[in-house]
Amino acid sequence: MDGLPIRTILNNGVLSSTNAMPLKNLTSDNSFSNNRNLFQNAYQPPVNYAVKQQTKSFFQRSTGALPHGYMVDGPKSAFQKKWIGGNRDASQTAMRRRMNTTGASMMTTGDQSFKNPSDNNPRIEALARVRGGGSSVPPKVSQKNVIPYVNPTIDPNTYFRIISAGWSANNINLAGSTASGQAPGFYTYTPTKQTAIATTSSGTFVRSYNVLTINRTTGETTSSRFDVFGTTGRDAALTAYLNGLTDSVIVVIATFDEPRNATPNNYLPSSLIAAVQLCGGSSDFGSVTGTPSGILQYRSAYVLVGIPGIGTGNGIQRYKGTSAPSGDATAVIDLRFSVVNGEYTYISG
């Protein structure tokens, strides 16, 4: 760092120098430093009485044997004077012992600290504060009594209209159904306006399977077409498309003309059936030949509204069709539903 020295020791709560005073927190008092000052002022180095005195001793008071000011010369042991007087009550004794203990311990060299250097609790507590700093009560708890937010990009007064029809119904009785005057397709409707997203009249709603996705956040729609009856490989493409969707969208599947596969034997592959069921289709969804073993008959009508991953039978499913040789002349579905806050609600059909 530009040649500057790098600090490698940041723990000033533990010091090892002589007379060191480690860092104190805001709640600490000055008792340690005061006791150390008292100790230093009153400190008397210990006397080793085994060592003979090498200098003269001078008596400043007279005794019966020695006059005042008498000089004593020669080797002798140091005199130990008997202490007389002073305060020796309990508080003074406790203060003196505290002073001696604090001063003696802090006049040494080695690790000194006002905390336990081996205490692991501060590290654990600091780590818990860091890890818990970003936590919050989940919205499903904190917002359970709050009125749900309505996404302004999706008008709650708008609903979607899905019209599905078999070939015979489209050519014979569509005008007499609830979809009178409407081509099979996807529509949005407000109290004042109906808008076509994809219809047979516009060429974007084709034979077999038509898929509409509605973004649950923005309301943006996309439509795709899969003619599994007339084009080889489109059943696999539809399977891959459905399996690639996520629960960020609402998926709508609508058929027109013929919902079954051309080969082999009009059966849909099991992988496609599983993909539709994963989006909410019923357990009896499938194609049939001869004796009915599923709900898809020749030139029948089928609509599913679900969410990718919602599971078998959990979507809104409608089916119309019989085993008539030329198709069911009444095979028309006119389904309506609304989308509010990313969730669909059945209206009619």
Q: What is the pLDDT of residues 57-89, one digit of tens each?
A: 555 555 555 555 555 555 454 454 555 556 677
In 107-188, alpha helices (H): 121-132, 139-142, 167-171
* Arithmetic mean of pLDDT, 122-131: 82
Report the pLDDT value the prediction gives residue 294, as an integer from 0 to 100: 64
**Residue 325 pLDDT > 50:** yes
pTM over 0.95: no
* Arithmetic mean of pLDDT, 274-300: 77
Q: Which residues pair with 245 in a beta bridge?
A: none
Cis peptide before 264 (omega within 30 of 0): yes
Average pLDDT, rounded, for the chain = 77
Residue of 122 and 76 predicted with greater confidence = 122
Provide the 3-class DSSP secondary structure of residue 142: helix
Highest mean pLDDT among 19-23, 89-93, 290-294: 89-93
Token pair of 118, please? 């081996």
**Residue 146 pLDDT > 70:** no
Local confidence band at 90 (pLDDT 50, 70, 90 cut-offs)? confident
Question: Percent helix, strand and coil across the chain, each rounded to 5?
Answer: 20, 20, 55
Q: What is the pLDDT of residues 92-105, one digit of tens each?
A: 788 878 777 776 66
Q: Which of these ranges, 75-79, 168-172, 204-208, 320-324, has the smallest mean pLDDT?
A: 75-79
**Residue 348 pLDDT > 70:** yes
Q: Which of these ranges, 49-63, 175-189, 209-223, has the smallest mean pLDDT?
A: 49-63
Local confidence band at 291 (pLDDT 50, 70, 90 cut-offs)? very low
Local confidence band at 135 (pLDDT 50, 70, 90 cut-offs)? low
What ranges do the domains of the chain cover? 159-348
Q: Which residues pair with 250 in a beta bridge?
A: 214
User: In degrees to the nearest 10, what's the CA dihedral of 11, 16, 18, 21?
Assistant: 30
* Arithmetic mean of pLDDT, 236-258: 93
pLDDT-above-90 percentage for the chain: 21
- Residue 166 contacts residue 299 (beta carbons within 8 Å): yes
Q: What is the pLDDT of residues 150-197, one digit of tens each?
A: 554 555 567 899 999 888 877 766 656 667 678 899 998 877 777 888
* Arithmetic mean of pLDDT, 131-142: 73
Q: Which of these ranges, 68-82, 133-147, 264-278, has the smallest mean pLDDT?
A: 68-82
Encoded amino acid at 79, one letter: F
In 107-247, alpha helices (H): 121-132, 139-142, 167-171, 234-243
Q: Which residues contact 248 (CB under 8 A, 6 or more apart)?
A: 215, 216, 217
- Could you tell me the CA-to-CA distances from 116 to 21, 111, 121, 122, 268 in Å, in that order? 15, 11, 10, 10, 75
Report the pLDDT value the prediction gives residue 329, as an integer from 0 to 100: 83
Return the residue matching tokens 């493409």: 237
Report the pLDDT value the prediction gives residue 308, as an integer from 0 to 100: 94
